[in-house]
Amino acid sequence: MAKEKRTVRVNAKINLKYDKDVVKIGQEFLVRKSDIEDIGAYVEVLGEVDKEASKGDGASNEDDKKSEE
């Protein structure tokens, strides 16, 4: 079975764990369309991303790195 790509950008309303990623409140990350129904109460859907932008998959830690500098 092929892995479904994460193609929907969301913003976390609470701290949560999605797959192997730990996501903090207010952090944007990508999820699979099929998971929106299950986690919809815990995230704000921001919209779909194009295929090129979803190459990285998962939570973005760029904000964490910038705040440490």
* Phi–psi pair at 30, nearest 5 degrees: -105, 140
The answer to whether position 13 is within a domain reads: yes
| pLDDT for res 61 | 52
Higher-confidence residue of 5 and 1: namely 5
Render pLDDT for 31-68 as a digit per residue (tens, 0 to 9). Answer: 999 999 999 999 999 999 987 655 665 666 555 444 44
| pLDDT for res 3 | 80
Which domain does 48 fall in, by range? 8-68
The answer to whether position 1 is within a domain reads: no
The answer to whether position 45 is within a domain reads: yes
* Total number of domains constituting the chain: 1
The answer to whether position 2 is within a domain reads: no
Higher-confidence residue of 58 and 22: namely 22
The answer to whether position 3 is within a domain reads: no
The answer to whether position 43 is within a domain reads: yes
Report CA dihedral (58, 63, 67, 68) to the nearest 10 degrees. Answer: 30
| pLDDT for res 20 | 94
Is the pLDDT at 69 greater than 50, yes or no?
Answer: no
| pLDDT for res 1 | 60
State the DSSP string of 14-67.
Answer: S-EEETTEEE-TT-EEEE-GGGHHHHTTTEEEEEE--TTGGGS-SB--HHHHHH
